[in-house]
Amino acid sequence: MNRPLMVAFDVSNQQTALKLAQALGPDGRGKTVKVGMELYYKEGAQILQKLQELGYAIFLDLKLYDIPHTVEKAMLQLARLGVDYVTVHAMGGREMLQAAKRGLVQGAAESGLPAPKLLAITELTSASEEIVTREQNCRLSLKEQVLSLAKLAKDSGCDGVVCSALEVEALRRAVGDDFFYLVPGIRMADDQVGDQVRVATPAMASKAGASAIVVGRPINQSPQPKRAYERYLADWQEGTKEE
């Protein structure tokens, strides 16, 4: 299957990250891990290199959101790290998204590396309808807002979006199949949802048309991460078989 189940390495330091990597298996080839703010801000690029040496593909999830010039220069540096996916906030607007893409392309070309996929954050899976309408003061419904941001991202040169499983089918119809739909907020029916609001099982996300899923606490906080990973992977693959 060429649609990855990404494991979120949302841990506080390199030692814990490498212990988790070892628990998932000594060979990371064929697996993708998400390195987010917590781990990257503590350990920097060296943790990416160590995980890459183990064979893992890297989703570097820093969710850049700043003026276009700053985002462009930041993406230029991130492209030199050899990661596979990076994120930016779609609400930064067209000019910022285009600048992000320029930075990635330039940085990758200068380093002789493939450019990472640029994924735009639509609305976080912790966001609810109330947050969007009352706190963001958005005139659109949550689903309409996600759709609008996804269209903007594609028009601005992004390779895909981060969205919940609940929006994927509508996005595929409106934005197209030639786009990458990454779905976090993945939980089994018997798992605690934590601070996630818009959640789905792996099979549900697969049937909806997700290109990839991200699983965090149910795996990285499990006493048996490999068994948890295999459980989620089986459900994800089962959903794929039923398509």
Counted residue by residue, the chain has a size of 243
98 is an annotated ligand-binding site residue: no
CA pair distance 243, 223, nearest whole angstrom: 32
CA pair distance 225, 35, nearest whole angstrom: 16
89 is an annotated ligand-binding site residue: no
For the chain, list the strands marked E by DSSP. 5-8, 32-35, 57-64, 85-89, 117-121, 160-162, 180-183, 212-215
133 is an annotated ligand-binding site residue: no
77 is an annotated ligand-binding site residue: no
Active site residue 63: yes
196 is an annotated ligand-binding site residue: yes
What residues contact residue 106 under an 8 Å CB cut-off, 6+ apart? 76, 79
64 is an annotated ligand-binding site residue: yes
10 is an annotated ligand-binding site residue: yes
Measure the CA dihedral 187/189/191/193, to 10°: 60
63 is an annotated ligand-binding site residue: yes
Kindly name the residue from 63, 73, 151, 226 that is annotated as catalytic.
Answer: 63
Phi, psi of 54 (to 5 degrees): -80, -5
- Identify residue 95 by its one-letter amino acid code: E
69 is an annotated ligand-binding site residue: yes
85 is an annotated ligand-binding site residue: no
16 is an annotated ligand-binding site residue: no
66 is an annotated ligand-binding site residue: yes
Burial of 76 from C-beta contacts in 10 A (0-12 / 13-18 / 19+): buried
47 is an annotated ligand-binding site residue: no
To which H or E segment does residue 9 belong? none
CA pair distance 115, 107, nearest whole angstrom: 8
Q: Which residue, among 187, 218, 220, has the nearest Cα to 204 in the 3D structure?
A: 187
- Could you tell me which residues are annotated as the binding site? 10, 34, 61-70, 125, 187, 196, 216-217
- Could you tell me which residues are annotated as the binding site for substrate? 10, 34, 61-70, 125, 187, 196, 216-217
Known catalytic residues are 63
